[in-house]
Structure 1
């Protein structure tokens, strides 16, 4: 799939509108859907904030230059066509004619230029647009993205969840984009308009009647109900009080909902996400600045128990920074199989002998609220690490912003997290390991404060390399170093599923799933 994708970078690519799922009938307009979500976003501006909590509503509110189908192929969206220069140093976008923002102002190349540079300067994925030097705007419908060097992930970076096109006349007023008041009252050009956000309760989006794709969207309204408790989200789906529930990871509830006649459960739609569960350390704090301590914890965790018991047999081991299924997934890295004797020996060598009470030191284990599997894994650490003398205490956060503030400001010992590859390592992997991306206050950057000059060199080279075999060799070396340094312990691939009402048609199951616009989704049979 990546080979096909790379080929598309070499010349002009024009495609038809994406078909995300199997239609059950001729599309009909009308109706609403209720979308239960685990947590509320900080705000709705995905140009400056990563994460699914932001990406799902933002993909409905903002349009992006391109979107992608289930085969990793780019499709037109705000850009009706695009062309990569033969030297790989520019991408020319031709915008659709007549696109408007929700306030009625036209979408122009000036908005694209402003947005591309806003993402480059503010998004936590610093490597995603690192090669971009600027955007030329020779006319209102043409934007030429200039690159310092070839960039193998530039088209993927133009996806809905990663490159929202912001109205320059709203966001370009000189205020800080990260705290701009429009982030909570967003104006985009996507299929749905922001209507209301009641904190802790719901987000309401309504159909954009002036959407630039004729006759779309089909739905009248999307209501994202914030239901932090997983079992309550499941009950809402079973009672048909909820209609779409993506990023579900609770295996028992997944199996339970599979038995419901009125629901469809699928694991499709996560290929681009590449979700990895891991335990990340704060290398600024002793004893986690000691590699032997981190490695010892790796040998103390029973990953087979996690995947077979905690994940009820559906778990797949993650061995390194790049998720299984990618052509760059790890090869010949240390698997950190359970070895308590080795863990104890490493802790002794690191200078942390057992005290009279049998303990060596205490550590807090944070985890994202609303993710049952992460909570279970964090709780598992307590009895498991006690076997090697480490007193591990799960530290819950009352909400996502609290967890994000703790971790992004390096106020943690270790955190159980699920982090996404976002399609290409340049987008979703480099950000965690580049020393230049240690940025306090920015979640899902290099919050571990990990720094290794050779890793920086390898990632810089891989981010420019167009030959897939050479890129793989660079990523192989990078992963061996990172796995040995153990700033992060890689546990498993998150078993995400989407549950939806069987009467819905064309729910996106592309590589980005519900982090894609739902303009084609409709009720084949009205509820």
Structure 2
């Protein structure tokens, strides 16, 4: 990134070479304007430039916009675009493209709160775009990030076709990012090559970037060890331990601060006995988070205690905690009126888990089954055949408890509000599927979402975190121990708050 320039010069950035990046998930297409997630974002941020980018200190940096200004009332963001940016087909990037893209993201992206307050984008001239909002929107600057706001060419995507299924999301993709499209073989690879007319002088350094899709992590690690890949991401403790022993590997936890991924146990608060806060608190007290992070996760994960990831500048440490105490948990269940019957059982529950990340999900679900047995709760662990079947259970609220992994996405407005607002109780996965309803929380979040002063805003979120941890619709367990693993040959590893979802224009091979 811009902040890495002295480093790049110190390391004498070399031009050329092919950078092979491993992906475990297969992107459906390459257009990040209508799709969230790592699989789409990593190639999308190479193809499409965004108005701004962010450094590793959460500070915005120029990108397509050379300068920008959020008005004092927080209701308009002016972007002054650079005049030398062109799309891969040679057409200039103008304010019309920015206006088209932001309204397209508002209409199509799954993060509805991200551009929710945006009413229109004015274009007084070809290089000025003014984002107009109905209310102050402190998340708007962060929403200009590469993974969240790719600028699409209006002359291609403004043809009236549905953006979610537009053919140019997957074939002959045209953006203004550092690399241009060569090939997309779904489920196999994405091949990109250096864009010679990229607007950042003398960048990118690499000739080619290849995203190699290998769903099996063990195969991916073997490919990395053989030297066939130069960058992969791991989060399973066994995988972290293995790559950490590789003398040719550099392993870093930096670069995931923006994502803010939390592993948690969610309750369906409409179902008996989980509609009783005393029962939820008793279950929280029966879970040993230190055992989970140390024994089950090899010490690579940190305990999570609240809805805002600790890596966020808006996180508060003043939350309601539930120190592990089986005796106390049993007493709490007695006091809630759920006595043990002759068979030693109080009641039965099911626990689901997100498939595909067993170390974070299945293993923790099995541990919870074991520990709750000790306080008289019989738990059945339910496996889902695949992600769609798990997602359907969540969307239809057909669960008692479920393990889940949810991202903060940089700003609470984008990734946190969706889980706790009563207006977001919807038949869609990763909404408020807990059916949690607290008018005070709604009020706090709606207010915090319009406060520009970060200190004042943080105070609102601190109150919100205190209430939510006391209501316990969710037991926060751990931060997901994501790691970027690169070959020692890689210079300027992407370590901004967006990590591997940053543009690779500074990356080089030594």
- TM-score of the pair, normalised by structure 2: 0.90
Residue of structure 2 aligned with 1:55, choices 32, 35, 41? 41
Q: Is the 8 A contact 2:264 2:474 kept in 1?
A: yes
Partner of 1:430: 417
Partner of 1:242: 229
Residue of structure 2 aligned with 1:118, choices 104, 119, 126? 104
Change (3 A) 1:392 1:92: same
Query: Per-residue CA shift, 1:426-469, capped at 9, x if unaligned?
Result: 2322222122333434x433333333221111011111223333
Q: 1:279 aligns to what SS in structure 2?
A: strand
The number of equivalent residue pairs is: 506
- Note the 1:473-492 alignment, pairs <5 A: 473-492=459-478
Aligned mates of 2:355, 2:379 — CA distance in 1: 20
Q: 2:210 aligns to what SS in structure 1?
A: strand
State the shift of 1:358 in Å: 4.8
Q: Say if 2:379 is the partner of 1:391.
A: yes
State the shift of 1:22 in Å: 3.5
Change (3 A) 1:345 1:64: same
Aligned mates of 2:307, 2:48 — CA distance in 1: 30
Q: Is the 8 A contact 1:316 1:492 kept in 2?
A: yes
Residue of structure 2 aligned with 1:67, choices 49, 53, 67? 53
Change (3 A) 1:38 1:343: farther
Partner of 1:419: 406
Partner of 2:353: 366
- Using the TM superposition, name which of 35-44 and 497-506 deviates more: 35-44
Change (3 A) 1:48 1:279: farther
Partner of 1:153: 139
Partner of 1:514: 500
Q: 1:80 aligns to what SS in structure 2?
A: strand
Q: Say if 2:294 is the partner of 1:329.
A: no
State the shift of 1:308 in Å: 1.7
State the shift of 1:169 in Å: 3.1
Aligned mates of 1:355, 1:20 — CA distance in 2: 67
Partner of 1:200: 187
Greater than 6 Å deviation, 4+ residue runs: none
Partner of 1:472: 458
Partner of 2:152: 166
Partner of 2:247: 261
Residue of structure 2 aligned with 1:382, choices 353, 369, 373? 369
Q: Is the 8 A contact 1:21 1:506 kept in 2?
A: no
Q: Is the 8 A contact 2:355 2:383 kept in 1?
A: no
Aligned mates of 1:318, 1:20 — CA distance in 2: 34
Q: Say if 2:220 is the partner of 1:233.
A: yes
Residue of structure 2 aligned with 1:216, choices 192, 203, 212? 203
Aligned mates of 2:498, 2:443 — CA distance in 1: 30
Change (3 A) 1:406 1:164: farther
Partner of 2:289: 303
Aligned mates of 1:353, 1:106 — CA distance in 2: 71
Aligned mates of 2:266, 2:32 — CA distance in 1: 24
Aligned mates of 1:430, 1:95 — CA distance in 2: 31
Query: Per-residue CA shift, 1:207-239, capped at 9, x if unaligned?
Result: 333322233222232222222333333222222
State the shift of 1:64 in Å: 0.7
- Note the 1:12-27 alignment, pairs <5 A: 17-19=2-4, 22-23=7-8, 25-27=11-13
Q: Is the 8 A contact 2:76 2:131 kept in 1?
A: yes
Aligned mates of 1:115, 1:287 — CA distance in 2: 46
Aligned mates of 1:37, 1:19 — CA distance in 2: 25
State the shift of 1:18 in Å: 3.9
Residue of structure 1 aligned with 2:20, choices 6, 30, 34? 34
Q: Is the 8 A contact 2:257 2:312 kept in 1?
A: no
- Using the TM superposition, name which of 95-104 and 135-144 deviates more: 95-104
- TM-score of the pair, normalised by structure 1: 0.87
Q: Say if 2:452 is the partner of 1:453.
A: no
Change (3 A) 1:137 1:46: same
